[in-house]
């Protein structure tokens, strides 16, 4: 019990102590997106916080090479997912409360930008998540290999996280590990986490994620 908790406290420290993601001048395909953003000459940008935030995030999403984040840390990728997910449902004003939406609706250019940002975020997220999941598994594997815990991912979209180690002969350790891994695995959109206690074993304990 103590051993498994120590291993994953190390993992959590790696995530929380990592640097923030760097910005890049290209999108996921290496090109700069030139979609229109909120007009900076529009006085509402300076008056209403939500509109200013949309403008800022539109520029950031258009100018960031999200694909390159897969070469960074778990925190790099996690923060990129956070930014993109913020606007996945933006066409229905997902990130904003009723008070903020009233201001946004008064600015047609902002509504247009918000709808475009929603479509763009969905597309980028779909493109980068498989590589993010591979990198997540690799980062985790690098942290845990000295403790004889091996981590890989599988599946057509790299959406199955496989964790192997002798400590997982204990159901209690499997349960404790899943409690710790669940949040990050869900955030990276893994569909399943599988545990086995030695490589080559055909049977495993699995958890299906929503």
Q: Tell me: the pLDDT tens digits for 104-136?
A: 777 788 888 888 888 999 999 999 999 999 999
Q: Which of 2-16, 29-43, 50-64, 181-195 has the highest mean pLDDT?
A: 181-195
* 120 contacts: CB under 8 Å, gap ≥ 6: 33, 35, 61, 62, 87
Q: Mean pLDDT for the chain?
A: 79
Model confidence at 11, pLDDT cuts 50, 70, 90, reads: low
Q: Tell me: the pLDDT tens digits for 158-210?
A: 999 999 999 999 999 999 999 999 999 999 999 999 999 988 888 999 999 97
Q: What residues does each domain of the chain span?
A: 2-9+145-199, 18-135
Residue 30 scores a pLDDT above 50: no
- Residue 90's nearest CA partner among 101, 99, 81 is 101
- Two tokens, residue 179: 């409690």
pTM, rounded to two decimals: 0.76
């Amino acid at each position: 019990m103590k051993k498994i908790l120590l291993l994953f406290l190390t993992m959590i420290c790696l995530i929380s102590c990592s640097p923030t993601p760097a910005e890049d001048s290209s999108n996921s395909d290496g090109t700069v997106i030139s979609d229109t953003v909120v007009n900076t000459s529009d006085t509402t940008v300076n008056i209403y916080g939500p509109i200013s935030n949309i403008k800022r995030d539109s520029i950031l999403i258009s100018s960031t090479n999200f694909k390159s984040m897969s070469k960074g840390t778990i925190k790099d990728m996690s923060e990129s997912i956070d930014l993109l997910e913020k606007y996945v449902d933006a066409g229905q004003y997902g990130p904003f409360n009723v008070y903020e939406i009233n201001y946004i609706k008064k600015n047609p250019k902002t509504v247009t930008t918000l709808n475009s940002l929603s479509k763009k975020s969905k597309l980028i997220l779909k493109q980068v998540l498989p590589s993010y999941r591979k990198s997540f598994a690799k980062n985790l594997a690098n942290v845990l290999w000295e403790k004889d815990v091996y981590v890989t991912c599988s599946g057509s979209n790299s959406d199955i996280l496989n964790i192997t180690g002798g400590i997982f002969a204990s159901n209690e350790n499997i349960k404790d590990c899943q409690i710790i891994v669940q949040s990050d695995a869900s955030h990276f959109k893994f569909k399943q986490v599988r545990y086995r206690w030695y490589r080559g074993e055909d049977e495993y304990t699995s958890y299906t994620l929503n």
